[in-house]
Amino acid sequence: MKSKKAGSRGAEALKGKKFAPDRNTLEFAGILVIALVSLLILVYFVFPNLFEVGEQVKSLNATSIDVTVTGGQQPSADREACLKLFGIESETVIYIYSDTCAFSAQMTPWVQELQNKGYKFFLANTKNIAAIDAVATCLSDVASMESTPEFVCPANGKSAVGTFSSAEDLKRFADACK
């Protein structure tokens, strides 16, 4: 006499039937996917340096990186209109920086010094989701947003990634943005 495997009656009952998820199951799955994607985006912007190699970055010599200026596009009406939505004027220098970046720490006092002299800077800390969103939304054609510090001038479409060799060089970049 042959013995049946455990659970074979359940499999026999389902044989030939198609599985069709009901609407509630599909809605739940959609909401779950949206929630997971949103969580990943939030973690990326709140903890941008989560996967960086911290000690290696801290050990770099802060004078070993120089600025690379790219771009030079004329401001578009779309870019200016977009910036206005975020309260940013086109002659404002966008300063993208990170609190954990040694090179940003070198540039921040110079930025503050120029701000005290009347220069306009928009500070886009990588931890500030709204600021990074403004830059990504309005300046995706100019800002690389791949490393910090980065300086972006919407008025002339130029971007400078890395450290300036002096406060005077940063001032010249800001002057060209007016």
* Domain limits for position 120: 61-175
Instruction: Answer yes or no: is 161 within a domain.
Output: yes
Count of CB atoms situated within 10 Å of the CB of 146: 8
Does residue 107 share a domain with residue 26?
A: no
CA angle at 88 for the pair 94 and 67, rounded to the nearest 5°: 10
For residue range 62-92, list pLDDT tens digits in order: 333 344 444 445 445 688 888 988 899 888 9
Q: In percent, how much of the chain has pLDDT > 90?
A: 43
Instruction: Answer yes or no: is 5 within a domain.
Output: no
Does residue 124 share a domain with residue 90?
A: yes
Instruction: Answer yes or no: is 151 within a domain.
Output: yes
Average pLDDT, the chain: 77
For residue range 15-51, list pLDDT tens digits in order: 666 666 677 777 877 787 787 777 777 666 665 555 4
Does residue 158 share a domain with residue 135?
A: yes
Question: What CATH number does residue 157 fall under?
Answer: 3.40.30.10
Instruction: Answer yes or no: is 66 within a domain.
Output: yes
Instruction: Answer yes or no: is 68 within a domain.
Output: yes
> How many separate domains does the chain show?
2
Would the pTM of this model clear 0.75, i.e. be above it?
no
Does residue 98 share a domain with residue 27?
A: no
